[in-house]
Amino acid sequence: MFNIVKKEIEWGHDTLSLETGKIARQADGCVIATYGETSVMAAVTYAKSPKPGQDFFPLTVHYNEKYYAAGKVPGGFFKREARPTEKETLTSRLIDRPIRPLFVDGFKNEVLVICTVLSHDLENDPDVVAMIAASAALTISGAPFMGPIAGARVGFVDGDYILNPSVDDMQDLKNNPEQRLDLIVAGTKDAVMMVESEAYELSESEMLGAVKFGHEQMQPVLDLIVSLAEDAAKEPMDFKAPDYSDLLARVMTLGEQKMRDAYAITDKQERTSAVSAAKEAIKAELSEEDLEDANLGTALKKLESKVLRGDVVKNGKRIDGRALDTVRPIVSEVGLLPRTHGSALFTRGETQGLVVTTLGTGDDEQFIDALHGNFKSNFLLHYNFPPYSVGEVGRFGPPGRREIGHGKLAWRALQAVLPSNTDFPYTIRLVSEITESNGSSSMASVCGGSLSMMDAGVPLKAPVAGVAMGLVLEDDGDFAVLTDILGDEDHLGDMDFKVAGTEAGITSLQMDIKIAGITPAIMEKALEQAKAGRVHILAEMAKALTEASEFSEHAPRIETMQIPTDKIREVIGSGGKVIREIVEMSGAKVDINDDGIIKIASANGEAIKKAYEMIHSIVAEPEEGKVYKGKVVKIVDFGAFVNFFGKRDGLVHVSQIENRRLNHPSDVLKEGQDVWVKLLGFDDRGKVRLAMKMVNQETGEEETATEGAE
């Protein structure tokens, strides 16, 4: 009934297996990849013909995690997996980016790739496994896919690269000083196609070494996929790229000069209008048959590409007249918004981001329900890209895949320089509002985010800047690396290469390569040029701010205190009674974790002090010989009981009330009276012994007196 084909190898610290022929047999290709006990099923289907008039490639990748994979039940009211989590969205993009350029030019049939996590061993992250499964499923599907690709995760410990480190090792690099890198690299046998990373100020050579290491280590996986395809691949689709050479020649003849004139305009809005006008002028001279040709859009894009790329490589001339390694003019401003905790406006040419920082307490941490367990995040970065930022009318609503991806890239770049939670116990939320865009707005978010946090008083280890690099590589091997690319240079170039970091090193690297010819020498050149650009941008940012500002008066103040874990129950009280009383009486927010770390937050310093004292009185032990303020709670014949240290009571014997003989304690005391007492010690039964007579009841200061004086 089943025609099962299974291949496996030992890879890194576990066994990697690929299996097809048993499940989802009606899909064009379905492979279950298993690494350790983490299994992902990738199913591929593709339309056998394109939609009429379609001039783009409609590839869709969906990665979805099933809670049953880790033996969990989803949260929420419906107890069912709902909209994609951030991890699912980011992994879908991670798989899409390296496979998209590898479909044959001219293929515009709809392709759907669905990756489903079936089992998770809580050690091996499913993202790389899903990438391998998707590649294998495409390779055996018969689609015109020029793969396969493979992926690998790379860690970096004590100068050594680690293949496929565990989920726990990569979970929170900020609190794991041994781990300095979480990098995913994807590629074909001969070329790197994609890099995504989070790093802790690694040098350019260390980052390049990690990319090379990952590419070397994935080679056995590529051989495994080829081996599977040899036994299980379907007949290749009979696809021939459409021949539109005659149409392209006419478009080139009619429009090359018009397009050159349009791209000679340096202002983006004027240039965009001129390019549109040039296209319309070309169309006006074409025949009806040419206008109806589905390849007209592709031909026009080829014309744009030739004009843009030829000038860059041959003449070193860019659209806006800059040199290849020049960064556009930068203006940095901080403190724009009076009521926010921190704000910055970062403008680089025609790209601008307004980034706002809000400081919150432990209650504001984001609770993340992940397959490998639940955890909290105290650093949030949200990126918004409204249509007006590019002068367009369009969809405005919840964040899409692009917004989530760009926000995560900026998050990775900045989180490496955040202070530890013990030094700065705040939840930090950054919101980047992209108000103009022509070039990398994610890198503008990094620069603006760094300034905004410093404006809010966050003591960053060092400022961070980011720059987007581009590449134009010609067939003869000539190439040009571009610093601070424009939008058009991104769309028509061969590589999008984003590097962020401090002066000391790289904190994030993202690379998307659209062709299979990038050499290590080209990547090295791009990294060197990016470092120069980053250092220049940091110098421009320093004109606005170089270190953390004073705290905003509107931001909460937070103090932390550590208590013994066996005292946590006393501070919380039965049903939370005690901690609610502390919050109500002090006016401060109080948050306590399982390690006994308490955060007390309020914009009012007196509220923090009061809450601190109340908690201290519960968990601390009274010290012998010290003076405390107390309240008389009961009077008896032989003395008075005084509540003096939180809930603690002690006895002031009648002989210790005043330096004279009293007939009865009620002669001078009454219940509810505030008094100053000195802790004399404890009797044989552990009872507290207090005294009043040697303490000035007005000032609370201890006095020298003759004990027992009448």
Please report, for residues 176, 467, 684, 691, the alpha-carbon distance to residue 641 in angstroms, rounded to integers and kept in the order given: 52, 70, 18, 11
Extract the tokens encoding 639: 């003395």
Count helices and strands in the chain by DSSP H and E runs: 16, 29
| Helix, strand, or coil (residue 697) | coil
| Predicted pLDDT of residue 704 | 65
Integer angstrom CA distances of residue 100 from 96, 112, 138, 565: 6, 12, 11, 53
As beta bridge partners, residue 84 has: none
pLDDT at 517: 64
Token couple for 354? 């307004």
Convert the pLDDT of each residue in 28-69 to its tens digit. 999 999 999 999 999 999 999 988 878 789 999 999 999 999
Tell which residue, 494, 483, 374, has the closest CA to residue 439: 483
Mean pLDDT is highest, among 355-359, 547-551, 635-639, for: 355-359
User: pLDDT category, 439, cuts 50, 70, 90?
Assistant: confident
Residue tagged 């492979």 (tokens): 31
Q: What is the rounded CA–CA span in Å between residue 375 and residue 367?
A: 6
Q: Quick one: pLDDT at residue 707?
A: 44
* Inter-residue long-range contacts of 515-519, CB under 8 Å, 24+ positions, other chains counted: 515/101, 515/473, 516/101, 516/102, 516/146, 516/188, 516/190, 516/191, 516/193, 517/191, 517/473, 518/191, 518/192, 518/471, 518/473, 518/494
The beta strands (E) that lie in 172-308 are given as 181-187, 192-199
161 has a pLDDT exceeding 50: yes
Q: Model pTM?
A: 0.85
DSSP 645: E
304-351: per-residue pLDDT in tens? 888 877 778 777 778 888 889 999 999 999 999 999 999 999 999 999
pLDDT bucket at 554, cuts 50 / 70 / 90: confident
Model confidence at 706: pLDDT above 60: no
* Distance separating alpha carbons of residues 519 and 312, to the nearest angstrom: 19
**What is the per-residue pLDDT across 221-233, written as a single tens digit (0 to 9) for each?**
999 999 999 999 9
Whether 474 has a pLDDT exceeding 90, the answer reads no
pLDDT of 436 > 90? The answer is yes
ω before 148 within 30° of 0 (cis)? yes
Instruction: Sheet containing 111-119: give its strands across.
Output: 5-11, 14-20, 29-35, 38-46, 111-119, 59-65
Q: Which pLDDT score is estimated for 23?
A: 96
267 CB contacts (<8 Å, ≥6 apart)? Answer: none
Between vectors from CA 517 to CA 223 and to CA 309, what angle results, nearest 5°? Answer: 155
DSSP 368-420: EEETTEEEEESEEEEEE--GGGGT-----SS--HHHHHHHHHHHHHHHTTPPP
128: helix, coil or strand? Answer: helix
Contact status, residue 115 vs residue 87, Cβ threshold 8 Å = no
Tell me the C-alpha to C-alpha distance, in Å, between residue 680 and each of 291, 519, 631: 101, 80, 17
Cβ-proximal residues to 274 (8 Å cutoff; 6+ apart), any chain:
261, 262, 265
HEC secondary structure over 580-640: HHHHHHHCCEEEECCCCEEEEEECCHHHHHHHHHHHHHHHCCCCCCCEEEEEEEEEECCEE
Q: How far apart, in Å, are the Cα atoms of 10 and each of 43, 164, 221, 525? A: 24, 13, 10, 35
3-state DSSP call for residue 243? coil
pLDDT at 433 over 80: yes
> Is the pLDDT score of 647 beyond 80?
no
Residue 277: count of CB within 10 angstroms of its CB: 13
Average pLDDT, the chain: 90
Provide the 8-state DSSP code for 49.
S
The pLDDT of residue 216 is: 96
Determine how many CB atoms are found less than 10 A away from the CB of residue 514. Answer: 17
Share of the chain above pLDDT 70, in %: 98
Q: Which residues contact 561 (CB under 8 A, 6 or more apart)?
A: 597, 598, 600, 612, 615, 616
Average pLDDT over residues 511-528: 85
- Mean pLDDT computed over 273-283: 90
Tens digit of pLDDT for each residue in 389-424? 988 888 888 889 999 999 999 999 999 999 988 788
Q: Which two tokens stand for residue 345?
A: 């406006």
How many CA atoms, within 13 angstroms, populate the side-chain half-sphere of residue 530? 34
Residue among 55, 65, 61, 64 nearest 99 (CA): 61
